[in-house]
Amino acid sequence: MGSPTVAALFAQRVIIGVGDMAVSNNPQVILSTYALGSCIGVVAYDPVSKVGGILHLMLPDSSISAEKAAKQPAMFADTGLPMLFKAMGGMKAERSRVRIFVAGGAGMLSGHDPFKIGERNVATTFDFLVKNGLCVRHRDTGGSINRTIHLDIGAGSVNMKTPVATQQFSLTS
């Protein structure tokens, strides 16, 4: 493994909880969200401005609770996704350069799932991204496993861990 780099010694981890989001342009920051089941993690990164963000959305549609959506807009795809891209734009990210990774949307209930939250989350997320001309570079959705994702702002790299594997890829090219 070797010795840690100086940058790694001073890295700052920001944890994004369920129904929350964070954006950063600090190259020392690593954004992380844990245990994405039926929830969706949207990772967005602009490699020119080195601005990145993670949204951990829980449900597809805020119309089920306008009050909850007003208090916690990141909980829902239809309110959280616009908020993510607006926050990144405020840090000089440009939509035309943003690269996206989407993870989660698993079916976490064994047997028949009448609500299909994972599937609905995936569909709503991709509908928004397509309608807004945003290109998804990588995706790992569906199935029945949970996923944990980390975005290294300085490197523009994503590390995803599942119970069976770890994957790493770049959002810089």
The CA-CA-CA angle for residues 72, 45, 105, to 5°, reads 55
76 part of a folded domain: yes
**CA-closest candidate to residue 152, choices 1, 17, 10, 2:** 10
Nearest one of 159, 146, 137, 173 to 11, comparing CA atoms: 159
Do the domain assignments include residue 1? no
**Residue 20 included in any domain:** yes
Distance of CA 160 to the CA centre of its chain: 11
Q: Which of 16, 39, 55, 122 is catalytic?
A: 39
Alpha helices in the chain (DSSP H): 6-9, 66-71, 77-89, 117-131
- Structural domain range at position 114: 6-170
Per-residue pLDDT of the chain (173 residues; tens, 9 = 90+): 566 666 666 779 999 999 999 999 999 999 999 999 999 999 999 999 999 999 999 999 999 999 999 999 999 999 999 999 999 999 999 999 999 999 999 986 665 666 899 999 999 999 999 999 998 999 999 999 999 999 999 999 999 999 999 999 999 98
Residue 68 lies in a domain: yes
Looking at the 3D structure of the chain, how many domains does it have? 1
**What's the CA gap between 112 and 142, in Å, rounded?**
15
In tens, the pLDDT along 71-119 reads: 999 999 999 999 999 999 999 999 999 999 999 999 866 656 668 999 9
Q: What is the CATH number of the domain that holds 39?
A: 3.30.1330.200
The pLDDT assigned to 110 comes to 61
Active site includes 135?
Answer: no
Distance between CA 58 and CA 61 in Å, rounded? 9
Confirm whether 109 is domain-assigned. yes
